[in-house]
Chains A and B, each alone.
Chain A
Amino acid sequence: MEIVSVSTVKIDDVIRILDKGGLVIYPTETMYGIGADATNSAAIKKLNRYKKRPAGKPYSIATSGKTMAEGYVFINKVAANIYKSLLPGPVTVVSHGKHNVAPGVESEAGTLGIRIPDHKLVIDIIKKFGRPITSTSANASYKKRPYKISDVLDNISESQKKLIDLIIDSGELPHKDPSTVVDTTCDDLTVLRQGEILFNNKNEILSRNEEETKNFAKELWQKYEIHFGRRAFVFALTGEMGSGKTVFTKGLAKAVGVTDLITSPTFNLQISYKLQTGHQSLVHIDTWRMSSPSEIYDLDFGENISECSIIVIEWADKIVDEIKKYTEEAVVIWVQLTFGKRENERLIRWMVAK
């Protein structure tokens, strides 16, 4: 592993490493990404080992522009509009792929996300390399967002470190959300992940499976993580039976570092998991069996708030007034899950209570 400064890095060195199937950590306008030759199977396998990702999760790719992108995806009218108005920039555009990338890069449905980073060095590298590189955050799955190199290195194992060939260090980047991901494969544009750029006035994304719901929980946590330790968190979940409230909680738990198996709290009403960071807990509450909203106080709700714990409440709509009392002391995030058109799809809306 070699670390070079962004001011001294030689593009030819980077290309030599990418050509050999190596992994390169590079800065972007959002956060640090990790690049591998998107057309090289061995490079993608190496990246999978590094990221420790669940199987079947695809990678977006970074291209130098629309022309290169057209070699890998079919750009329809909806997509073309976004390329024209927003790229380069923090938007990943998902289109039908042309199967010209290594296995595991496109999704199982054959779609592929294209990103054109608003970062001159990265564009220059890709242009000279002549092929796309992966555009995925440089952290391992569910670990801290990488805004500086130590965010990456402090949260991975020695064996993961050995997989990195080169790091292009650009110091600490401004803390921006990851790119907004939009799916353009249907006539209606669908937001799969929401970053700084908003496509509709509401905060709403489409989750296509349980893994994406878990991933959304992680993204949501990382958006507000900065308040952790100073204020409590209340994730107020609503949605009918089977809409994925416990699935969301599993993703959140993973993101905050809880390794216990998260099971339904319906019977116990509340299950607490100690966080590794200190005396706080992840408190998983289910109001489904409660007959009166005041029962929440029987569960030491106030104490958990003052300890700055992370509280997840399923069927939170049953105790709206109780939750409202804590909007000062806690970051209260309402998350609504509804069934989508297809079997595994869920529409997820969220709102931070003010």
Chain B
Amino acid sequence: MRKTIKSPSILSIDTSCDETSAAITQGLTVLSNVVWSQSKIHAKFGGVVPSVARRQHERKISWVVERAVNTAKIQYKNLDAVSVTVGPGLAIALGVGINFAKNLAIRYQIPIIAVNHLDAHLMGVFAQANKNNNQSGLTSNNAANLLMPDNRLKHPAFGIVVSGGNTLLVQIEAIGKYEVVAQTIDDALGESLDKSARLLGFGYPGGAVLEKFAKKGNPNKYHLPLPLLGREDEGIYSYSGIKTAFNRLVTSLTERKILTRQQINDLASTYQKVAFDHFFRISKKTIIKNLSNETSYLLAGGGVAANVDFRKRVRTMCKKLKVVPVFSYNKKLYGDNAAMVGISAYFKFLKKEFSNPENIDRLPNLKIDQAM
């Protein structure tokens, strides 16, 4: 007989867009987190743009799940639940993960939990490293301080999700209960960084490469307009304007001659700075507007949070606002991955929020504040 105090072991799957990922979590502890990145595969073939990939997901998913299970040293029959991202994302890609999860749930007669990918990005900060296997010396973060013993939040908090497909700021009343207070009306921050990187010839996705060049550049060398000046109280981010301005700037410089290494550094640095300036300008004003005496934490998730400068600026903003920033303990938890799905699923498991495997379906346009 299983001991009741043991946290549930959950197998989670995420195939929301490019990445095929599976993870095993036990409560908040990450036992394994396998991410098969399409961009890495394509990078091998000379930086080709990643592909849609229903077939890629279909080809990889068994291997990825198998590997997550083996790494965690768990057996399928000992799983307490399987969870899967149902949205938002690309419908056909989501479908691959959902079908796989559904079959597992039926075969092993375990509950299936439908997870919102955006919720997962926030819940990822609560993930804890496996202490028995903590060879990298990772220390867990301060997220646990925000959780009460019964897994409710001590205080209301804020959350940001900044990735290739999303840019939003939410107010968190309770786990799973969000109110969007700011969001992008066009491009996502991560997408904007990737596109500017492409304009500089870095290939796709180039946000991470842009960061490297930006470090060596002068962020004030060129002028780019800051979007939505004077409209900071509308709760919107917009990246299409600076993208256009940047395209014009790069075009005008390359008309004369090929960019020098230093120019590329300066351009990368300028773009990244203005893109972040805009994000923090809007975020700060929006947070101040919604700040109560009780709110004292900011959870940060999404691939852009892997950017060192971005995290630095989150800390700076939080210091001014007297809010504690909370990041995931491991960089791998920022981008799309299944461990964060497992954490989100764990909170749902406690509330017995299970889905019927026959009815579980993809929700490509799912919003963070939308009931499933």
Contact of A263 among B187, B195, B204 (CB under 8 A): B187
Complex contact B92–A271 (CB within 8 A): no
Given A240-B247, A298-B92, A266:B191 Cβ within 8 A = yes
Contact B191 A242 (CB under 8 A): no
Residues of A near B49 (CB, < 8 A) are 288-291
> Which residues of chain B are near A290, meaning CB under 8 Å?
49, 51-52
A300 close to B (CB within 8 Å): yes
Q: Is the CB of B191 within 8 A of A264?
A: yes
B73 CB-CB contact with A under 8 Å? no
Asked whether A273 is an interface residue with its Cβ less than 8 Å from the other chain, the reply is yes
Q: Can you name the residue of chain B whose Cβ is closest to the Cβ of A240?
A: B247
For B24-55 the 0/1 string (1 means CB < 8 A from A) is 00000000000000000010000011111111
Q: Does A187 contact B (CB under 8 A)?
A: no
Q: Check B191–A298 contact: CB distance below 8 A.
A: no
* Contact, CB under 8 Å: A260 / B188: no
**Which chain A residues border B204 with CB–CB below 8 Å?**
289
For this complex, into which size category does the number of interface residues on chain B fall? 35 or more
Q: How far is the CA of A247 from the CA of B248 in the complex (A)?
A: 18
**Cβ proximity bits B186-208 to A, threshold 8 Å, 1 near / 0 not:** 11101100010001000010000
B88 interface hit (Cβ, 8 Å): yes
The answer to whether B185 touches A263 (Cβ under 8 A) is yes
What's the least CB distance linking B180 to chain A, in Å? 10
Within 8 A of B (CB), among A248-263: 260-261, 263
Q: With a CB–CB cut-off of 8 A, which chain A residues contact B246?
A: 242
Residues of chain B lying within 8 A (CB to CB) of residue A241:
195, 199, 243-244, 247
Chain A residues near B248 (CB-CB < 8 A): 242, 339
Q: How far is the CA of A284 from the CA of B109 in the complex (A)?
A: 38
Say whether B188 contacts A298, CB under 8 Å: no
**A304 → chain B closest CB, angstroms:** 11
B323 lies within 8 A of chain A by Cβ: no
**Chain A interface, DSSP helix/strand/loop, else mixed:** loop
Assess A268 versus B240: contact at CB under 8 Å? Given A263-B185, A298-B92. no
Residues A298 and B52 in contact, CB atoms below 8 Å apart: yes
Partner of B185, one of A261, A267, A270, A273: A261
Q: B92, A300: Cβ atoms under 8 Å?
A: yes
Most buried by B among A263, A266, A267, A292: A267
The answer to whether B240 touches A246 (Cβ under 8 A) is yes
Chain B nearest Cβ from A351, distance in angstroms: 24
Cβ of B92: which chain A residues have Cβ within 8 Å of it? 298-300
Is B187 a contact of A270 with CB atoms below 8 Å?
Answer: no
**A272 close to chain B: CB less than 8 A:** yes
Contacts of A269 in B (CB 8 A): 17, 52, 90
Residue of A with least CB distance to B188: A267
Chain A residues with Cβ below 8 Å from B54 are 298
A220 to B51, CA, bound (A): 32
A322 on the B face (CB < 8 A): no
> Which of B17, B42, B53, B243 lies in contact with A268, CB distance below 8 A?
B17
- Please, how many angstroms separate the alpha-carbon atoms of A242 and B184 in the complex? 16
User: Is A307 an interface residue when CB atoms closer than 8 A count as contact?
Assistant: no
> Is B89 located at the chain interface by the 8 A CB criterion?
yes
Chain B 52-94 near chain A by CB (<8 Å), digits 1 or 0 = 1111000000000000000000000000000000001111100
The answer, yes or no, to whether B165 is at the interface (CB within 8 Å) is: yes
A240-B247, A289-B49, A298-B53 given as contacts; is B187 within 8 A of A268 (CB)?
no
Contact B186–A268 (Cβ < 8 Å): no
Q: Kindly identify, within residues 210 to 243 of chain A, every residue whose CB is under 8 Å from any CB belonging to chain B.
A: 240-243
A295 within 8 Å of B (CB atoms): yes
**B246 to chain A: closest residue by CB:** A242
* A260, A263, A272: the one within 8 Å of B186 (CB): A263
Contacts of B42 in A (CB 8 A): 291
Question: CB distance A289 to B50 under 8 Å?
Answer: yes
Q: Contacting B243 at CB < 8 Å: which of A242, A261, A273, A299?
A: A242
Shortest beta-carbon distance, B42 to chain A, in Å? 7
**Among B42, B51, B54, B92: residue with most chain A CB under 10 A:** B51
Interface residues of B in 231-268 (CB under 8 A from A): 240, 243-248
| Chain B residues positioned under 8 Å from A271 (CB to CB) | 364-365
- Cβ of B164 under 8 Å from chain A: yes
Asked, given contacts A241-B244, A261-B185, whether A268 binds B50 with beta carbons under 8 Å apart, the answer is: no
11 other contacts beyond A241-B247, A267-B191, A289-B204, with CB at 8 A cut-off? A242-B245, A246-B187, A247-B240, A263-B188, A267-B17, A268-B17, A268-B88, A268-B90, A290-B49, A291-B42, A299-B52
Binding site for A on B (CB under 8 A): 17, 42, 48-55, 88-92, 163-165, 183-188, 190-191, 195, 199, 204, 240, 243-248, 364-365
In the A-B complex, list the 10 residue pairs whose CB atoms are closest, starting with the nearest: A242-B244, A267-B165, A267-B164, A298-B52, A264-B187, A295-B52, A242-B247, A291-B49, A291-B51, A241-B247
A-B contact pairs, 30 of them (CB 8 A): A240-B247, A241-B243, A242-B240, A242-B245, A242-B246, A242-B247, A242-B248, A243-B244, A260-B365, A261-B185, A263-B186, A264-B188, A264-B191, A266-B164, A266-B191, A267-B165, A267-B191, A269-B17, A271-B364, A271-B365, A272-B364, A272-B365, A289-B204, A290-B49, A295-B51, A295-B52, A298-B52, A298-B53, A298-B55, A299-B52
